[in-house]
A = this chain, B = another copy of it.
Amino acid sequence: MPAVDHFPADQWARVLAQAWRDTARGRLGYQHPLGHAGLREEIAAYLRASRGLACAGDQVVIAAGSQNSLDLSYRLLADPGDVVAMEDPGYLGARAAATAAGLRIAAVPVDSDGLDVSVLEALEPAPRLVFVTPTHQFPLGVTMSLERRLALVAWARRTGAWVLEDDYDSEYRYGSRQLDPLTVLDRAGRVVYIGTFSKVLFPSLRMGYLVLPPGLVDGFEAAHLCSDIHRPVLEQAALARFMEQGHFAQHLRRTRELHAERRICLLEAARQRLGGLLDVQEAIAGLHLLGRLPDGVDDRAVCDAAAARGLDVWPLSLHAVNRSTRGLLLGYGGVSPALISSGVTALADAIEEVLSQAPAAV
């Protein structure tokens, strides 16, 4: 969760009112399946500036957040029974939607350089799709190395597979190191870029987008026609105005500072109070940090003990096919510094409780 407590609600109320006046005047009927033209242009301009994507508005498709982008992509780019390669551990929602689309999942391990592309290259037959989070791997938080990125786009070109690059929280970067997205490195048009406003505005807006190689645009138009005709228009128009008027850039600057402060606050509190209990890893981007538990400690038991203290922490194993992967996901974006501090104290208690109950040697 981002810092929704600092969302500029009054500014949003104004762009909503403006957008409704426009909508009522001529956009009450069916609209374009790919989305509001002005918003698609604003998103393309934003991605050209922020991510170096050489994209035009007509390559941008509006979707209901990353989940919807994935669902549409799976259904359009693969057939039931096809294999999709996924990071392990990786985003649970991406796995669930793939299973719902009838795809088989090939779990590919992730190390400190991101997805292990050599494992992918060895898969026979080659998967039809691969889902990756190169900027800030979910949930481990690592960044894919340039060497791996180049190997991945070369593999996709060679095999004709599609790469789904989910850049879900790249807006929040805390280091200087910034690598080109796969979409920029790809010269063969095999990468679909997936972005979302859930992390930079708010999740209940359900607004995200895909950036497509030009040859896929007609297919996604048909996919939208079949699944929902088009996305509701009012909030698309409001967001277009929010971006045009500069509020989006301003909000991003403000939340970048806020999230950076909260991240430091969590790292500092962890250093002071979680030594020996949880090894919290620094990550260069995003809204959460990963903590490694001592060997043999069940992350789900810790999460239950934390929940009993009113603390919502996710177990790493929830997102893993290989369940020996244990750890905790600590989201800090939507949590004030005071709550981060008291939360870390409660978390230390929860881990100690589980440790005290565990068999002496596991």
Contacts and interface: CB of A to CB of B under 8 A. Distances in A.
A203 interface: yes
A91 interface: no
A100 B224 CA distance: 11
Contacts of A75: 100
Of the listed residues A16, A65, A102, A232, the one surrounded by the most CB atoms of chain B closer than 10 A to its CB is A232
Contacts of A96: 222, 225-226
A21 B203 CA distance: 16
B228 A68 contact: yes
Interface residues of A, number: 49
A230 B205 CA distance: 10
Interface stretch (A4-12, A48-56, A157-165, A344-352): A4-12
Nearest to A207: B232
Name the prevailing secondary structure of the A interface residues.
Answer: helix
A277 to B, nearest CB: 28
Interface string A25-69: 001111100000000000000000000000000000000110110
A225 B80 CA distance: 19
A23 B204 contact: yes
A213 to B, nearest CB: 21
A23 to B, nearest CB: 7
26 contacts: A4-B29, A7-B28, A12-B20, A12-B24, A13-B20, A17-B17, A30-B204, A64-B229, A64-B232, A65-B229, A67-B225, A67-B226, A67-B227, A68-B228, A68-B229, A71-B227, A71-B228, A75-B100, A93-B225, A96-B222, A97-B227, A100-B222, A204-B233, A205-B232, A206-B229, A234-B235
A248 interface: no
Contacts of A7: 24, 28
A16 B20 contact: yes
Given A4-B28, A17-B13, A204 B226 contact: no
Contacts of A354: none
A1 interface: yes
Given A17-B13, A30-B203, A97 B226 contact: yes
A334 interface: yes
A223 interface: yes
A228 to B, nearest CB: 4
Contacts of A93: 225-226, 229
A28 B228 contact: no
For the complex of A and B, list the 7 residue pairs with the smallest distance between their C-beta atoms, beginning with the closest: A28-B202, A9-B24, A64-B228, A4-B28, A100-B226, A204-B233, A68-B228
